[in-house]
Amino acid sequence: MRYIPWFIALLCSILAVATVAAKRPQSDVERLTQAVAKSPGDMALRCQLVEALLEAGDTTAANEALRYAMKIEETGCLSMQKARMSLATGDIPGAARCGARAIKAGLMPDEDSLIYRLDSLSQGAVSMYVRQLSNTDKQNTTLWKGLGQLAQQQQDSTAAVGYYETAFRLGDSTVLEALEALRTRQLTDSVTDTVFAEIPYTRQGKTMELRGQANGLAIRITLDTTATRSTISGVETKFMLKNEYLSESDIRENNTAVVIHSLALSEDVVLHDVLLHHRAHQEQPIILCLRDLEALGRVRINEQKRVLEIRR
């Protein structure tokens, strides 16, 4: 019986230690490790675990967790974690490759500004690796949008417009706002070239309306700075065919486009052999994209005079 108080004291000590341990705050690493064990397929949780390990200073465990996670699925977040590790060891080319892989996995540069820094440090290597596109990649709007954002960061508006136009043509309407802003900036930037022609216009919201002639037919022409190709309405096509402003030989690309041999925008400005894609339900007779107009020279909007200046 004399041993009972000693046994009770020992038991109380064990219970006290257990209570203290239970009350100890759980670390992020422990919490995320348990969460990953419950949901092994949740790549966002795996990415958070790698981040927590890095913050805890355990680079060995972070590297191991990252390597294991990337065997399961290579996400944009995990690729950027790999880029951070490569950058920390001074491997800039490796970090740039990881940044490109992050974009290909769906992470936009605007979502992780480190991609911009990597592109700058590597002298554009991130962009270069992203542009190494396979045939499948070429249909991926995410890649073209990512390239557009990188080109904007590099202040290469011409390249950015081209990338955004490709993304839009493939079905990504989210690039329209950036595309419109870039186009407007290009048109209003000061240039020193000589003005050789001026085209009067009137404002119609975000577009400009010109009065011209298509193969001699007086027509309303809409200049849309966000359009990626020039188009003609179904009504206008039928009218021009019926009244012999177009012939059957002018119908191209399996009846999806027509060629206008003379598209006069003013007395002195004429575009020749313009390919217009047919749009059955388009309200405007003709929509002219900026790229086709730029065949004549650099275009600048003069809001004060309400003319488009063609410069060479």
Residue given tokens 């950027």 in the structure block: 80
Distance CA 168, CA 179 (A): 9
Distance CA 11, CA 218 (A): 101
Predicted confidence at residue 219, as pLDDT, reads: 94
The stretch 71-100 carries a mean pLDDT of 87
Predicted confidence at residue 13, as pLDDT, reads: 60
Predicted confidence at residue 218, as pLDDT, reads: 94
Label residue 20 by pLDDT band (50, 70, 90).
Answer: very low
The stretch 63-80 carries a mean pLDDT of 82
Structure tokens at 165: 């136009």
According to DSSP, the β-strands at 202-204 and 257-264 are unpaired
Predicted confidence at residue 243, as pLDDT, reads: 94
Count CA atoms within 13 Å of residue 167 on its CB side: 24
DSSP for residue 282: -
* Crossing angle (nearest 10°) for helices 43-55 and 28-38: 160
Distance CA 65, CA 36 (A): 11
Q: What is the DSSP string of 212-280?
A: EEETTEEEEEEEETT-SS-EEEHHHHHHHHHTTSS-GGGEETTTTEEEEEEEESSSS-EEEEEEEEEET
pLDDT digits (tens, 9 = 90+) for 263-296: 999 888 899 999 999 888 898 999 998 888 888 8
In the predicted structure, residue 312 carries a pLDDT above the cut 90: no
User: Is 59:28 a contact under the CB 8 Å cutoff?
Assistant: no
Predicted model pTM: 0.55
Set out the domains of the chain in order of their start, with CATH numbers.
74-187 (1.25.40), 195-311 (2.40.70.10)
Q: Which residues pair with 222 in a beta bridge?
A: 209, 287
- Buried b / exposed e over 174-202, threshold 16 CB at 10 Å, is ebeebbeebbeebbeeeeeeeeebbbebe
Predicted confidence at residue 50, as pLDDT, reads: 79
